């Protein structure tokens, strides 16, 4: 904890579909996740976000908890279909009203809102009219939606994130079919991602051209797990680098370096769309900060012809396109989601970003872990989660010491919530949710954060 700058941002994060509930309340339209959950077998136990943790009705209580626990920043996402039930056209004033109240309540408690415009809950209407991420027109619809948000909320919101993890939306939603809208394809992910990047760039362009007077910042959040070469053979070092380029370079290169990584162009041929000159210009430098969601690490090796794929799910991009074999070290401890706990992978990930993209300001917009918690006498002693956070925050400290410009850290998540295809079976919260009563019970990890934030603030004052 010695290297964090005084103005370091300590926050926690959530997303709309995972916590809000009120899925059809006050004029909200359905999203592709509302729809996806209706097909039996898509989500574990056929869970859905209809009620989730009922944040829609309990946001005041939730903000009080943020305040009490010492957070000075809170990352949440806006549900597109609450603002525009059909994805475009008529604005739903009740939806605007909800986010107005949420934002005002945060500011009244001195908590800075960090607002994500898209955390995967595309309005179902756009999907049905085939105006989803596969159609180039989607970038115009996203631009329109973003403009409404800047216009209505930008007087108070100064930190915007256009898209959350386009990699997940593209690969899991359009490649492997395990997330909404459930497509299986080896070309659609590249097309969907292409349109996501353009949508991001158009929204940023509008913000920079028409909302300058709001003096806010805007960026994108990408996710990347670290890929460590399994040994020092050149072919495996190359495989790990290739895996990172297919994972993070795919989205970050067009924004920080001007185009897709060469290795993707070489390997994907016609399946990788091409940016026009003007799109490249729009994309270049279109993020004020480098938003990173980081969870775990895997070894990477060059694909061995006879070996079976270890984890298609964890592979950054379609595996056959990369010839990368991923594996875990049996010595690494696992979370209950079977993601390996490898803090030094976080340090290396941050360093890789600093090296490749000329030391941008990085914000970790998500980092966290899932463990099965138990309530004992009204308390949740989640020692493993506390250990996880301790070790990853130390890993961040190391990166800062090495010169990486890490400016903020958001814990995922403020609450247990709807964990997508895993439903309510995985708990990522620092606050426990009793799903029978919807009671919020602070876990030891939340108390640990309170201490860390306090310590840091005291240090900042004495300097
Ligand atoms: C985030 O995505 C989401 O933004 C958030 O909504 C979600 O609740 C949270 O994480 C927890 O899932 O198979 O061991 O290689 C996480 C993106 C991509 C991170 C896949 C872990 C695979 C782990 N994830 N990655 S492994």
Encode pLDDT of 186-195 as tens digits: 999 999 999 9
Q: State the Cα torsion 129-134-140-143 to the nearest 10°.
A: 110
What is the best residue among 225, 332, 430 to mutate for testing ligand 1's pocket, by most ligand atoms within 8 Å of CB?
225
Atom of ligand 1 nearest to the CA of 311: 13
Atom of ligand 1 nearest to the CA of 221: 4
Query: Per DSSP, which regions of 78-123 are E strands?
Result: 112-118
Q: Ligand 1, atom 11: nearest CA belongs to which residue?
A: 419
d(CA 302, CA 204): 38
Backbone torsions φ then ψ of 393, nearest 5 degrees = -70, -35
Mean pLDDT of 133-143: 99
Asked whether residue 462 is domain-assigned, the answer is: no
Q: Is the distance from CB of 121 to CB of 79 less than 8 angstroms?
A: yes
Assess whether pLDDT exceeds 90 at residue 64.
yes
Instruction: Return the pLDDT at 313.
Output: 46
Model's pTM, two decimal places?
0.97
Query: What pLDDT digit, counting tens, does each position of 215-234 carry?
Result: 999 999 999 999 999 999 99
* Cα 221 to ligand 1 centre (Å): 13
Burial of 117 (0-12, 13-18, 19+ CB in 10 A): buried
Asked whether residue 4 is domain-assigned, the answer is: no
Mean pLDDT of the chain: 96
d(CA 82, CA 66): 24
* Cα 232 to ligand 1 centre (Å): 28
Q: Is-catalytic flag, 131?
A: no
Q: Which of 105, 188, 228, 366 is catalytic?
A: 366
Assess whether pLDDT exceeds 70 at residue 317.
no
Mean pLDDT of 252-274: 97
Q: Is-catalytic flag, 383?
A: no
Mean pLDDT of 140-154: 99
Q: Ligand 1, atom 15: nearest CA belongs to which residue?
A: 314
Give Cβ neighbours of residue 220 (< 8 Å, ≥ 6 apart). 161, 162, 163, 166, 200, 251, 255, 286, 287, 291
* Cα 425 to ligand 1 centre (Å): 14
Asked whether residue 312 is domain-assigned, the answer is: yes
* Cα 184 to ligand 1 centre (Å): 19
Q: Which of 20, 105, 131, 165 is catalytic?
A: 165
What is the best residue among 43, 76, 295 to mutate for testing ligand 1's pocket, by most ligand atoms within 8 Å of CB?
295
Domain CATH for 326: 3.20.20.80
Asked whether residue 463 is domain-assigned, the answer is: no
Let me know the angle formed at the C-alpha of 107 by 102 and 110, rounded to the nearest 5 degrees.
135
Mean pLDDT of 173-190: 96
Q: Ligand 1, atom 8: nearest CA belongs to which residue?
A: 419
Backbone torsions φ then ψ of 437, nearest 5 degrees = -105, -15
Q: How confident is the model at residue 57 (pLDDT cuts 50, 70, 90)?
A: very high
Q: Ligand 1, atom 26: nearest CA belongs to which residue?
A: 314
Mean pLDDT of 421-450: 98
Between the CA of residue 422 and those of 201, 213, 418, what are the distances in Å?
32, 42, 8
What is the best residue among 412, 418, 419, 423 to mutate for testing ligand 1's pocket, by most ligand atoms within 8 Å of CB?
412
* Cα 167 to ligand 1 centre (Å): 10
* Cα 199 to ligand 1 centre (Å): 23
Asked whether residue 426 is domain-assigned, the answer is: yes
Query: What pLDDT digit, counting tens, does each position of 285-315 carry?
Result: 999 999 999 999 999 999 877 665 544 544 5
DSSP element (H, E) containing 252? helix 250-252
Atom of ligand 1 nearest to the CA of 339: 14
- Bigger pLDDT: 157 or 308? 157
Instruction: Return the pLDDT at 2.
Output: 82
* Cα 414 to ligand 1 centre (Å): 16
Backbone torsions φ then ψ of 282, nearest 5 degrees = -65, -40
Q: How many domains does the chain have?
A: 1
Domain of 321?
Answer: 9-457
Mean pLDDT of 386-401: 98
Q: List ligand 1's pocket residues with C-beta within 6 A.
A: 15, 18, 164-165, 168, 223, 225, 293, 295-296, 298, 311, 313-314, 339, 366, 412, 419, 428
């Amino acid at each position: 904890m010695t290297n964090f700058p005084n103005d370091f941002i300590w926050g926690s994060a959530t997303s709309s579909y995972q916590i809000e509930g009120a899925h059809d309340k006050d004029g909200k339209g359905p999203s592709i996740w509302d729809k996806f959950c209706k097909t039996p077998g898509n989500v574990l136990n056929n869970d859905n976000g209809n009620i989730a943790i009922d944040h829609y009705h309990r946001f005041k209580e939730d903000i009080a908890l943020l305040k009490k626990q010492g957070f000075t920043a809170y990352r949440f996402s806006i549900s597109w279909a609450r603002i525009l039930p059909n994805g475009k056209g008529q604005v739903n004033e009740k939806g605007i009203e909800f986010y107005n109240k949420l934002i005002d309540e945060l500011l009244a408690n001195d908590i800075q809102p960090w607002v994500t415009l898209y955390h995967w809950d595309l309005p179902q209407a756009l999907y049905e009219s085939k105006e989803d991420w596969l159609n180039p027109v989607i970038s115009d619809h996203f631009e329109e939606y973003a403009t409404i948000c800047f216009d209505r909320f930008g007087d108070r919101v100064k930190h915007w994130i256009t898209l959350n993890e386009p990699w997940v939306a593209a690969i899991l939603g359009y490649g492997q079919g395990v997330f909404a809208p459930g497509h299986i394809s080896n070309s659609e992910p590249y097309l969907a991602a292409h349109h996501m990047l353009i949508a991001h760039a158009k929204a940023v362009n509008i913000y920079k051209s028409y909302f300058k007077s709001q003096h806010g910042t805007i960026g994108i959040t990408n996710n990347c797990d670290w890929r460590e070469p399994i040994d020092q053979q050149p072919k495996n070092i190359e495989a790990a680098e290739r895996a990172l380029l297919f994972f993070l370079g795919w989205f970050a290169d067009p924004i920080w370096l001007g185009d897709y990584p060469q290795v993707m162009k070489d390997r994907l041929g016609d399946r990788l769309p091409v940016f026009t000159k003007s799109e490249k210009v729009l994309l270049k430098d279109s993020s004020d900060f480098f938003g990173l969601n980081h969870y775990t690490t895997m070894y990477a090796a060059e694909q061995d012809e006879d070996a079976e794929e270890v984890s298609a799910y964890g592979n950054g991009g379609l595996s056959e396109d990369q010839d990368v074999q991923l594996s875990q070290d049996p010595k690494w401890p696992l979370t209950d989601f079977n993601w390996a706990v490898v803090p030094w992978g976080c340090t290396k990930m941050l360093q890789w970003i600093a090296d490749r993209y000329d030391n941008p300001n990085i914000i970790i917009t998500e980092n966290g872990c899932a463990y099965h918690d138990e309530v004992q006498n009204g308390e949740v002693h989640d020692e493993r989660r506390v250990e996880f956070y301790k070790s990853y925050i130390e890993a961040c400290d190391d990166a800062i010491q090495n010169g990486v410009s890490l400016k903020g850290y958001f814990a995922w998540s403020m609450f247990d919530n709807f964990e997508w295809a895993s439903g309510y079976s995985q708990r990522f919260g620092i606050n426990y949710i009793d799903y029978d009563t919807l009671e919020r019970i602070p876990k030891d990890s939340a108390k640990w954060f309170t201490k860390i934030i306090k310590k840091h603030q005291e240090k900042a004052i004495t300097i």
